[in-house]
Structure 1
Amino acid sequence: MSTALKFATPLIVAMALVGCNKKTETTTTTTASAPATTVTASANGATATATVSTTTTSTTAVDPNMTPEDHKKARERIMKDWKKTNQTIGAMVKDPSKFDAAQVKAAAEKLNQNPWVHYPETAKGGEAKDEIWRDAAGFQQQIDKFKTAASALNAAAATATSVDGIKTQFGDLGASCKSCHDKYKED
């Protein structure tokens, strides 16, 4: 075994193990994050060091065996999670004395879930209007608005020390949800 390989092998294994901390699901988006990690490997008295930085990522892998009903259930579950997020943060906006920065941050992170992959044309129905599939470009614009608003709320929640730090972003998120639901959700 070459000297370079002796140094690199433990380092490669260590870097791969850092990546194993990431969670993935087959039907929804999961968010995983880990702090930057410095890995040191040594062999025969020589040392190699590398810093592996892992940032929050969003990965979606949809199970190709999902039925249309599975897709409907998955997107509805995510939307219900978002409703709870809205209620959690909304209660704090209504009563600023209940503000809890950690709770706001955790709630906002749930907005990284990705229900959009659960809208294949074969999974029409549920509370989704057929307009979603007739106006794919318009629906995509709504998705983009939501993602922008959710990202802004997540950024604000990361440093907020009071309701004032998230109020505008939370309002923008609510407006995004309402705009999409008005056009694409059954009553």
Structure 2
Amino acid sequence: MRPSRFAIAAAVATVAMGTFTPAALAAGQAGNDDQKFVVTVHQGNLAEIAAGTDTRTNADMTCVKDVGATLVKDHTKLDADLKALARKLDVTLPDKPTAAQRRQLEEIQGKAGTPAYDTAWLKAQSDAHQATLKAIDGEIANGSDARVVAAAKQARPVVAEHLDMVRDGTCHVMG
């Protein structure tokens, strides 16, 4: 079963893609870079879910709350698919976002209930999704595992849609 485009989008939401070694692929095992990618993507999903959930109570603008709800929905689905992949690869996943991801959300939460929260939240999401698109494009151009390249190609439009929703401090909810 191929991972869904949402699962892959979540996986690449906050990750810089690594390279995949031919020896690991030939052996049918996840190499260290593969394992790091899965863990990083999972933590990205957790961060996106937390950030999206936070908009329910702390965002000022309705559109930010709507975008947050979309990210929660999409990244929850993505993470479910990613967890299934991690089980297949025998990769142990952490139970929370990275310390840096948690700090970033805490900083944004410090502006809760004000337009400054919305601006900071949208900027953080824009930056993350731009970095993700760069990683996806790098994987598409240079990836060595055909399955990962195919997944990156599937994920690209989803990540681009998420970026369009938050680009340049404006809200655009996918329709």
TM-score after normalising by structure 2: 0.37
Pick the structure with more helix per residue: 2
TM-score after normalising by structure 1: 0.35
Structure possessing the higher relative contact order (Cα contacts under 8 Å, 6 or more residues apart): 2
Please identify the structure whose Cα radius of gyration is greater: 1
